[in-house]
Structures are given as structure tokens and as C-alpha cells.
Chain A
């Protein structure tokens, strides 16, 4: 067992790979966690963080590579063996039973799951009280979880992890819904855990937190680790011994760390995005025409969109970048009338409009290809032909009487035009692959002959070939005079496809950048860093 000045390796992942269908989520990631350190995991959306975490908690089985826990190789890691080996995960949304008390919730995790046994209530309460005290939480074991605030519920989760003897604690964006004060409280608890020799994997998008809390940071990009680095801490004095860590880290992780032992925020951002935009993106040749969509101070309290002002021109692809939860999909849903706007103004082709339902949006010439294609993009039970004509019944069949010949003809044209791989127009939506479902969803909306096309994650979960085909289709549509608003978490896609790039954060538009911006500029705006 490797021992480094009291910091032993708790978890070692070596060249772990994992694919979902054609998508390679992890392409051989190595990662190690030592007792008594906070190891931050950083990366864009879809870089592979969640997949890595799910492999550590046993939810996913890796396709290749090896996992060692406390020096012992582990073959089949399942959620229950992970639990027994002392791995605990604290999610952004605590998974507690709201109607039970704190003590009961802790007991459910820690006591054996035998149905017929006598419950020792006194012991149960005493243990809960002891665990809560150990993490310095001022909570009554008798309190109903429903009555607790979000950070208090997280403390209960941490108490559970501690009670289970967890040596490896994973925290997935724990501060996403916390106030500044609650955050500091949580940090104190995390530091306490670290002092007790627990290894913590900490996932967060907030760079300031990482600089306050983390000892090391590993950056993932496109399913690969692009480096593990020491963090120059700006917060309180570290508990673990940083110099020893650094001294040891050199020979093990290569020369990169020796050359650059600590790093700054901008270096970190560059690491996250640092890559050339490859040349597979078709060039933009469109000359932007008239303004199609014009928004002024648009807001919707219910979905958290506020104060968005922008303009999209005919023939232009406006990319919308931002982190998950930045309000991009919410903005699209406001524009499409799913959650109608309650503030500001929408103009289409220079005319002021109100859009209160998807129906009205369709009538105004807006098309929306939603993010969750599997659920709402195509109707799986209907044949392709029916899916294609669903939004244009009134136009294609003026008498409400369906004309199957015309429908079939149109379906064949779109299948040919977008190169949908299907056995025919009669094949049900469920029989198509992801990329072809996406094309079908797109075709339905093109059939409405829209003026504004909103694409939400158009190539998510789509294999590489279909992806570049969809990119070519988007380019062609723009050239034909469509205004395209493209939401994407795929930064190269945003950079490669957009004529201009709007960056959203916290429900509002924070930056409007030219199409040829550098990746780190976009990322910095999305993360809220001053440039």
C-alpha cells in the first residue's frame, strides 16, 4: 500500500473506459484519491464527470481499466459493495425520506435491512445525536426531514456517510442551491472530514470554491483526463501536508506538475476548454438578413429567465452557451410558449407578438426541436410519416381528411433529404437510432416552414457521423434564410457553428461574443469570471 506521509491512496482508477452505444463517455481515465485530501473534479458539461462518479459508486460498470480501493483491486463494483467499501455520495438534491425524522433516516441507512427485528429507539436517537455532533450540526434527531433546509438535509447526508464509516465521500455540486453563509458552514464540515482522514471528491462549477477548498484538481475533457494539478489555495490553512503531496506527486504524474505546481483560474479555464476547434464544421457562408427575432428584457418568473435582450437575423446561427441550469432551455421554452413570458417584449419580423402556447408559437413560425428527444421529440409509437406531419395537419390536410399519398410522398422526401436511415415511412419512431430520431424531429419542424428554428442540444447522444450531417443540415437551413437559435453544451459545436455566441448564466444573457471567439472567453463568461 502506498503511503505518502500519512496520506495513503484510498482510490485508484487506472485507464477506465466506458461507452454508451456509440458515445465514448470515458476514454481511459486515471484518477487517484488520497485520505485527507479534497480532490476537485472539473470539466464542461458532458466531459465525463458524472460517468466517472457513477463508476466509483458502482452504478455503472466500466468497460475497461481497473479500480483499486485501499490498495485492493475490486472487480465487480456494485452500489452495495461500494457502500460496504466505505464509498458515499452526496448529491445536489439529498435523497432522504421527508416524512421520517433525522434519526430514522440515519437508521435506515445504517441499520441492517431485516424486516423483523426490534428497534432500539434509544440507541437509534443516541447514535444520530452523536453523528450530528461529530460534524458540528446543530440539529435535533427528532426533527422531521421535511422541516429542514437544503443545507441541513445535506448535513444529514454527511452524517449518514460518516456513520457508515465512509472513507471516500463524493460531493456532486453540493453548493448549487446554498447561500454564501450556508456554503461556509458546509466548507467547515468538509474541512473537518478531511482532518479526519476522509478522502473527498468534490465536483463543482464554481472556481472560487475549488480554490478555497481543494488540494488537487483533475480536469476532464471529452472523456479524458487532461491533468491533475495542485491548487494554490487562497482560503484557510490546509490540514493536509501540501508539500509532501507535491514532493511525491512529481515522479508519479509526470513532469507537467513539476513545471506547473500550482495554477490560476484562467489556467484552469484553459485546461477545461483548451483545444483547437477541428475543421469538421462547415464554414458559415450566410449573410445575415433582416432581424427575425428581437427580444427586449424578456423574463419569466416561473422558469427563472430574466432580462434577456437579443436579436437573431435571418440566415444567422446564434449559439447559446452556458452551463447546465444557466437558463438556456428555459429561454427556449419561454419563446415557444411552454412557460409563457411575463415580462418584456418579443418581436417577430418587426411585429410585436405574445406567445402563450406552443400552438401560437407554431402559428407565428417558430419551431422548437427539444432537448429531450427520447421523450418529447418523436412520438415513439407513431410511424415516421405520422411524426413528420403532426405539426402541419392544418396545412397538409385542409379538410381534416388525411391524404395518405401526400403524407407518404412528403415523408419519403424528408427521409431522402435528411438521409434518415429507416426501413420506410411506416417504421415506428421507436425503431430509429438516436441520430435518426433527431433528424425526424428536425424534419417535423422543417415541414412547418418556420422562420425561426430553435435547436436544443441538436447533437446530444448522437454518433459522430450523424453529428456532422446534422451540422451540415443546420448550415444549409441558415443559408436558405432561416434564423437559427442553437443551444448547445458542446463548446466546440458552439464555436464551430455559431455566427455569434450568446452566453447565459443565472437565467440571463451575460455576454454576446463574436463567432470566432476563443473557447476560454466563452467559458469564462459562462463561469462568471472577469476577463
Chain B
């Protein structure tokens, strides 16, 4: 930052004799870049880290860029991205939901059972989304309606859904009928469909957060719920709908996962909450609410997802994966902490 502030002064001193019109335009452009990277410092630095990693892979392990493994990687991460978008909204509104993994499992198994009953996929999909939204609504009602702390509420629902599912299904897998996998499409088409769905949702939600009044309310409530209330916004309603939207996205993501294999694992979604929260935090969303955007979350998710294949391709022991991911999360949190400390002074 210091360098960026000093540089224009140096330029002025050095180019005192230079014609000023040229200097001014280049300074204007530079000011724009500096201003942009200052305002979106976190997003820019995560994107830069991702680009560095991809460039390193291109040089040292070009095998990473073979189409089929890359497509598989992106397909695997597509459901995670969908959940991460919803989680970002909830965290921006200064709440958290750690029950997404259990919601994911409930929706997956339910979708599988419905498909096994020979429901058409065109009905299973909305059913799964509606179930997810209902589970999200339960969290939302408890958090917003009764004003309970979201970490405790969703801890309770996380355990409840997971254990209820275990008791009901006794750990049994659900076999999908023929034709359910990849929506009955060829594998490559199915994979591309999932990726396109995830990216479309990302773009739509990112635009909505910026261009819709509702998106602005989420930021306002997360920054200062009382101030938002005094401005005539209903913070509890905003919070409630953030949870419902997250639940619906979890339902969709579950469906996107179910179609990837011939069976539904009742333990699917285990650890999903950690993966998603990690992506959101690395992507620059402040855990204290009110700050961040979905583009950063996208970059954060890709960064974390690329670590594992990168290690394989660079022939580093795979054991390091979790440790490196942990270090990245720590770095992100420390960066946020230092920044908010600086702003306070």
C-alpha cells in the first residue's frame, strides 16, 4: 500500500518536464487500478494467488490441464460452489450455518428415494430444493424469530438431521434407477451441464447482491442490524430469507451431487460445512458480516480445490493438503484481522 501511495509523487517529481496530458490519463488509469485493488484488496489477492498457482502448474505440471481430469475436478466442486454462494449470503448478514452438510445428506437421500419411486427428475429436483428451503426455514425461524445465536441453532440442527437420517436409514445406500445418472445424458454433457448451472447461479447471485435492493439489505443488516432497523429495514426478515435461500441452494447442490453416481451415500455431505465456510472466508467475506462478494468466494473455492491436484501433479505428499488449506485459511483470517485493526486506528 505504501508504495502505491508514494509512487504518484515520484512520478510527478520525475516527470515534471513531461507533457501533462499524457501523464494525467495514465495517472487516472493507475488511480482507478489502485483504487480498485485497494477497495477489493482481499478479492484481488486471492485471485492473484490462484493465478500464481495455475501459472506454476502450467510450467511445472502441464498434465494438470488435461481436459478430462480438469472437468472432473470442476464437476466435483460445482455443488460446493452452489452451497458456498448461499453461505456467503448468510455470513455477510452476520450469521453462520454449520448444518449445511446434514441438510445436504437429508436432501440427497430424499431425492434418491423419490427417484427410486420412479418420480421424474423434473419433479425430484424441485422437491429437493423445497425440502432444503424448508430445512433452511427452520434454522432461519429459530435464529431470526427467537433471536438465538446461529452457531448454536445450526449445531443442534446439524446433529439432529444427521442422526435422524442414520436412525431412519441405518446407513443404507439408495440405488438410483437407470437413467437417473447424469440426467440420462452422456457423462461429459452431464458434467458440463452441472458446471454451467453452478456458474450461472454464481453470476446471477453476484449480480443480485449488487443490483437488487435485497442484496443491499443483506450488507446493511450484516454491518449494523440496529442501524438497518432504524432505516426501516426488517433485519429479522432479511436474516430469515438468507437462511431459506441457503437451504434451497443446498437442496439444489444435493441434487447436483446425486446425479453424479449410481448410488446415494447417506453419509454424503460430511464435512461440507467446513469446506464451504473455508472457501467463503478465504474469498474475503468478513466473518463479522457486512463485507465481501461472491467473486472472491469463487476464487477462494478454486484456490482451495486446486491444492490437492496440484500437490499430486507436483509430486508432493498428499498428506500436506489439509495443512496447506489450513494455512491459507489462517492467512486469510490474519489478513482480515490486521486490516480491521488498521481501520480502527
Contact = CB atoms under 8 A, between A and B. Distances in A.
B339 interface: no
A391 B228 CA distance: 9
A391 B231 contact: yes
A174 interface: no
B211 A401 contact: yes
Contact of A402 (B213, B223, B226, B290): B213
Given A382-B219, A430-B343, A390 B233 contact: yes
Interface in B198-244: 210-214, 216-217, 219-220, 223-224, 226-234
Nearest to B232: A362
A380 B223 contact: yes
Nearest to B289: A381
B212 A375 contact: no
B292 to A, nearest CB: 10
B213 A400 contact: yes
Contacts of B214: 400
B291 interface: yes
A233 to B, nearest CB: 47
A408 interface: no
A352 interface: no
Interface string A376-408: 111111100010001101100100111000000
A76 interface: no
A444 B228 CA distance: 12
Interface string A135-153: 0000000000000000000
Given A358-B229, A359-B234, A362-B232, A382 B220 contact: yes
A243 B91 CA distance: 69
A318 to B, nearest CB: 21
Given A379-B220, A382-B220, A397 B213 contact: yes
A368 interface: yes
B229 A381 contact: no
Contact of B216 (A336, A363, A393): A393
Contacts of A377: 227
A375 B226 CA distance: 8
Contacts of B230: 336, 338, 358, 368, 370, 376
A330 to B, nearest CB: 15
B232 A391 contact: yes
B91 to A, nearest CB: 14
A375 B228 CA distance: 11
Contacts of B228: 379, 390
Interface in A348-364: 357-359, 361-363
A382 B223 contact: yes
Nearest to A407: B216
A359 B227 CA distance: 12
Contacts of B229: 338, 358
Nearest to A390: B231
Contacts of A402: 210-213, 216
B219 A381 contact: yes
Contacts of A338: 229-230
Contacts of B223: 379-382
Nearest to B288: A381
B216 A379 contact: no
Nearest to A333: B230
A386 B231 CA distance: 12
Contacts of B213: 393-394, 397, 400-402
B212 A401 contact: yes
A359 B232 CA distance: 4
Contacts of A397: 213
A370 B231 CA distance: 11
A23 to B, nearest CB: 19
A444 to B, nearest CB: 7
A381 B291 contact: yes
**Residue from the set A378, A394, A400, A444 with the largest chain B CB neighbour count within 10 Å:** A400
Contacts of A363: 232
Contact of A379 (B211, B224, B343): B224
A336 B229 CA distance: 11
A394 B223 CA distance: 21
Nearest to B286: A381
B286 to A, nearest CB: 9
A372 B224 CA distance: 13
A442 to B, nearest CB: 13
Interface string A418-452: 00000000000010000000000000100000000
A370 B217 CA distance: 20
A454 to B, nearest CB: 11
A377 B223 CA distance: 12
A400 B212 contact: yes
Contacts of A380: 223-224
A368 B290 CA distance: 23
B316 to A, nearest CB: 39
B8 to A, nearest CB: 15
Contacts of A379: 220, 223-224, 227-228, 290
Nearest to A402: B211
A466 B189 CA distance: 64
B121 to A, nearest CB: 32
B216 A378 contact: no
Interface in A258-280: none
Contacts of B231: 358, 362, 390-391, 444
A378 B227 contact: yes
A359 B231 CA distance: 8
B227 A386 contact: no
A391 B231 CA distance: 5
A456 to B, nearest CB: 11
Interface in A300-355: 336, 338
A380 B226 CA distance: 12
A378 to B, nearest CB: 7
**Residue from the set B210, B213, B226, B343 with the largest chain A CB neighbour count within 10 Å:** B213
B227 A375 contact: yes
Contacts of A400: 212-214
Contacts of B216: 386, 390, 393, 402
Contact of B224 (A357, A362, A375): A375
Interface string B296-324: 00000000000000000000000000000
Contacts of A358: 229-232
A373 B312 CA distance: 54
A382 B210 CA distance: 12
Nearest to B343: A430
A402 B234 CA distance: 18
A162 B189 CA distance: 83
Contacts of A361: 232
Nearest to B344: A430
A345 B255 CA distance: 55
A224 B251 CA distance: 67
B339 to A, nearest CB: 12
**Residue from the set B213, B216, B220, B230 with the largest chain A CB neighbour count within 10 Å:** B230
Given A382-B219, A390-B231, A444-B231, A376 B226 contact: yes
Interface of B: 210-214, 216-217, 219-220, 223-224, 226-234, 290-291, 343
Given A362-B231, A362-B232, A376-B230, 20 more contacts: A338-B229, A338-B230, A359-B233, A359-B234, A361-B232, A375-B224, A377-B227, A379-B223, A379-B227, A379-B290, A380-B224, A382-B219, A382-B223, A386-B219, A390-B228, A390-B232, A393-B213, A401-B211, A402-B210, A402-B216
10 contacts: A358-B230, A358-B232, A363-B232, A370-B230, A375-B226, A376-B227, A379-B228, A394-B213, A402-B210, A430-B343
Closest 5 CB pairs of A and B: A362-B232, A390-B231, A393-B213, A381-B223, A376-B227
